[in-house]
């Protein structure tokens, strides 16, 4: 479990223990025989108004992280907290760490007391907005269990009380995640939340419906989110299943307002009114990407996942799109998750950077800190191959041996040890935790950032 920042406040997103496994099926009955571990226990946070860069080789799980945050690909495990007080996220992460460390049937007195303490701390906090009746009920249960467990000897096991402790923890975690986590909300709540978080896809052609006009493509999210409704006009909706042949009335949209909004959005991204009545195949790649960005902006989001938005474009067009994104971010106060494999683009666009390797985050820091002082060997290798516009400047490039292992069968211990020039014995056995080396510079490496109590040998 990664350490989380200690400062107070609220992040826009906090991702804790995110996992996404895709099943591998074989045989006549298509039974599951394995899993592709695309994302495996990823932890990071996104502050409001910033751009977080997610960088790594193809297939490392970058896109899957973005899709899991938006519930386009529901995660297998983990928690995506949205606008949650940071102290609640920190305490929940600590509660999760203790829960994962308990051996079933062998819960110790200290573990039970710690679980009860954390439950009381989270739900007893004034910033926790869980239902008051539920909070009081669970807190009373935590106090009762703590009193029972305290009567035990220091080395005595919880025994028969373990089931009660586990039920209490399950109830507390359920209430917290249903209140704050995107991936535990109901379908209708997720749909409403997508009005605040949007996605710009990598391929600017396949992400647009070839049979729809541009005006309909840009207006589609507005209609799906029920924006610009005329609250004074109602219409009766026929329903053949109803006895009176009439269902409850529904509100009528304002087509003229939607059309005006579409024109404004197209002009914001550098297109014109005449482009409204064309199909996607009539545009260049850069223009299609602008349409995708206009569609994402149509519902006034506060967070946009940009999945390699310039990878399929020419260099000159890339610069135009990136500068336009910077302008839109400043104008609308947007927050970006920028996914890319191009470190030069990441350096230009992002405030902080997370480096991924084979479903794990290897390093995570402020952009200037990461480029000036890379700590993880994989980050060093990535930075060493960035092109420099100076033919006379010679750099020592780090060429990594071998190939990236399969995510269906990742190596034990550190995922990078099969290609790491600094690997030692412990790297092949123990998975390194993501450690804060100072100034919110997180590194997962036994050699460069050893965890307390673990010796790199």
- Spelled out in words, what is the top-level CATH class assigned to the domain 197-347? alpha beta
Q: For 217-245, what is each residue's pLDDT tens digit? A: 999 999 888 777 655 544 444 445 544 43
The whole-number pLDDT of residue 230 equals 59
- Enter the DSSP assignment of 126: T
User: Is this prediction's pTM over 0.95?
Assistant: no
Give me the chain's average pLDDT, please. Answer: 87
Could you please report the per-residue DSSP string of 287-349? HHHHHHHHHHHTT--SEEEEESTTTTS-HHHHHHHHHHHHHHHHHHT-EEEEEES-HHHHHHH
Residues with Cβ within 8 Å of residue 408, at least 6 apart in sequence:
24, 34, 35, 36, 37
Residue 245 has a pLDDT of 39
What is the structure's pLDDT at 108? 87
Question: Tokens at residue 304, please?
Answer: 């946009």
CB neighbours of 274 closer than 8 A, spacing ≥ 6? Answer: none
In this prediction, residue 370 carries a pLDDT of: 94
Q: What's the pLDDT at 103?
A: 87
Q: In the chain, pLDDT over 70 holds for what percent of residues?
A: 91
Residue 405: band (very low, low, confident or very high) from pLDDT cuts 50, 70, 90 = very high
Report the pLDDT value the prediction gives residue 315, as an integer from 0 to 100. Answer: 81
136-to-124, 132, 171, 326 alpha-carbon distances in Å: 8, 6, 12, 46
- pLDDT above 90 for 109: no
In eight-state DSSP terms, residue 108 is B
Question: What is the per-residue pLDDT across 140-196, written as a single tens digit (0 to 9) for each?
Answer: 999 998 888 888 777 677 777 888 999 999 999 999 999 999 999 998 899 889 889
Predicted local distance difference test score (pLDDT) of residue 61: 93
Q: Where does residue 253 fall: left (phi above 0), alpha (psi -120 to 50 degrees), or beta otherwise?
A: beta
3 pLDDT band, cuts 50/70/90, is low
Can you tell me the mean pLDDT for 424-440?
92
């Amino acid at each position: 479990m990664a350490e989380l920042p200690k400062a107070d406040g609220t992040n826009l997103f906090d991702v804790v223990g995110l996992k996404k496994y895709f099943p591998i099926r074989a045989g006549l009955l298509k039974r599951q025989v394995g899993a592709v571990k695309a994302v495996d226990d990823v932890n990071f946070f996104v502050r409001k108004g910033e751009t977080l860069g997610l960088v790594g080789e193809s297939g490392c799980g970058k896109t899957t992280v973005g899709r899991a945050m938006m519930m386009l690909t529901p995660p297998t495990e983990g928690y995506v907290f949205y606008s949650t007080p940071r102290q609640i996220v920190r305490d929940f992460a600590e509660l999760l760490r203790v829960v994962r460390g308990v051996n079933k049937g062998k819960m110790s007195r200290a573990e039970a007391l710690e679980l009860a303490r954390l439950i009381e701390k989270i739900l007893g906090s004034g910033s926790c907005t869980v239902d008051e009746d539920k909070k009081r009920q669970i807190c009373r249960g935590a106090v009762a269990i703590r009193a029972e467990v305290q009567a035990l000897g220091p080395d005595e096991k919880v025994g028969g009380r373990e089931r009660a402790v586990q039920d209490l923890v399950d109830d507390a975690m359920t209430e917290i995640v249903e209140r704050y986590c995107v991936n535990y909300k109901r379908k209708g709540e997720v749909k409403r939340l997508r009005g605040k978080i949007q996605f710009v896809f990598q391929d600017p052609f396949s992400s647009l419906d070839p049979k729809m006009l541009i005006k309909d493509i840009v207006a589609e999210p507005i209609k799906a989110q029920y924006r610009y409704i005329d609250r004074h006009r109602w219409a009766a909706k026929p329903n053949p299943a109803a006895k009176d042949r009439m269902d409850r009335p529904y509100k009528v949209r304002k087509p003229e307002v939607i059309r005006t909004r579409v024109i404004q959005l197209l002009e914001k991204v550098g297109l014109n009114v005449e482009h409204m009545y064309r199909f996607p195949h009539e545009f260049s790649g850069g223009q299609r990407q602008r349409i995708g960005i206009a569609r994402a902006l149509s519902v006034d989001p506060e967070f946009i996942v940009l999945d390699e938005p310039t990878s399929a474009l020419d260099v000159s067009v890339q610069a135009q799109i990136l500068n336009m994104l910077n302008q839109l971010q400043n104008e609308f106060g947007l927050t970006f998750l920028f996914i890319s494999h191009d470190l030069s683009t990441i350096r230009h666009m992002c405030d902080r950077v997370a480096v991924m390797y084979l479903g794990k985050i290897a390093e995570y820091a402020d952009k200037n800190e990461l480029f000036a002082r890379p700590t993880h060997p994989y980050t060093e290798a990535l930075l060493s191959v960035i092109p420099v516009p100076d033919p006379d400047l010679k750099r020592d490039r780090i060429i990594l041996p071998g190939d990236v292992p399969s995510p269906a069968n990742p190596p034990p211990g550190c995922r990078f040890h099969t290609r790491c020039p600094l690997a030692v014995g412990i790297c092949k056995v123990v998975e390194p935790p993501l450690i804060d080396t100072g100034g919110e510079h997180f590194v997962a490496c036994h050699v460069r950032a050893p965890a307390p109590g673990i010796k790199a040998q």
